[in-house]
Structure 1
């Protein structure tokens, strides 16, 4: 993977954070269809990728605190497993308006990187099956390819089994 400048990579808070941290990534832009609300599957299709390698960023409320969960677009978030992964008791999906306000990104373009307010982050363990994975780059129609270990490093996250079929 090459290292890209902010301008070449789309200039989002995610790309700026990666560049500032010296993390290698590849930007992947595609034409987003505004009628499509299945953002992760759209990214996989438009970029010609294995959907198991494309991850979606979700926010959950765990015992009153927001937590970022990153799971394959082909699966669903296991809320109980997420709560356990961060030492909590109960998790529910965060309100989309709260997610947007706290991350600084719009739904469908929420990146786990460069969020306005940092939150505990958990990446599903299946990410470690790949040399690189794809996550939102901070806007609809823009994904970032990077190594799972680099995603964990830049988000100060952890890996756990948080996805279900």
Structure 2
């Protein structure tokens, strides 16, 4: 069990685990998950860690087929600038390896933002905390367990 799964069980949140065989060398983990699980791309969300104003880290959860708009995440977080955090900082802060970063039960609690498009779905899929493992849950439940805010994060 991953920290994400343990946290969901502890919080008594309904979820479903979906496993698939991760192909080493795959460069888009979210797209791979959608393809291997036979899901619509807009229903599978990726977890990105962003650095604001050169210091504070925040989490952005967006559909795997979308690109994070740095101006929109900065605006949502009330910052001037946003940039992708470097891999070492992501791993150190979340406790998860890239390609398996779950928005749930991260090592350090970071402010979290979920793209508003999540509201269009009864269920969404996010990383379960390791490559080849996704969690299906209601967007409201993800928002609850991560204490996230909904915001427009993509164009």
Q: Same fold (TM over 0.5)?
A: yes
1:22 CA displacement = 1.0
Counterpart position of 1:152? 143
Q: With structure 2 as the length reference, what TM-score do the two structures score?
A: 0.98
Aligned residues: 154
Q: In structure 2, the residue corresponding to 1:44 is in which secondary structure?
A: helix
What corresponds to 2:64 in structure 1? 73
Q: Aligned with 1:76: secondary structure?
A: coil
Q: Shift of residue 87 of structure 1?
A: 1.2
Spell out the pairing of 1:126-145 with structure 2 (5 A cutoff). Answer: 126-145=117-136
Per the alignment, residue 5 of structure 2 pairs with 15
Q: Deviations over 1:16-60 (max 9, x none)?
A: 111111111000000000021210000000000001100000000
Instruction: Specify the alignment match of 1:88 in structure 2.
Output: 79
Q: Secondary structure, in 3 states, of the residue corresponding to 1:113?
A: coil
1:114 maps to 105
19, 28, 31: which one aligns with 1:38:
28
SS in 1 for 2:49: strand
**Partner-residue secondary structure (3-state), 1:67:** strand
TM-score, L = length of structure 1: 0.92
The match for 2:51 among 50, 53, 61 is 61
Q: Partner of 2:90: helix, strand, or coil?
A: helix
Whole-Å separation in 1 of the counterparts to 2:27 and 2:107? 23
Task: Provide the residue aligned with 1:8 in structure 2.
Answer: none
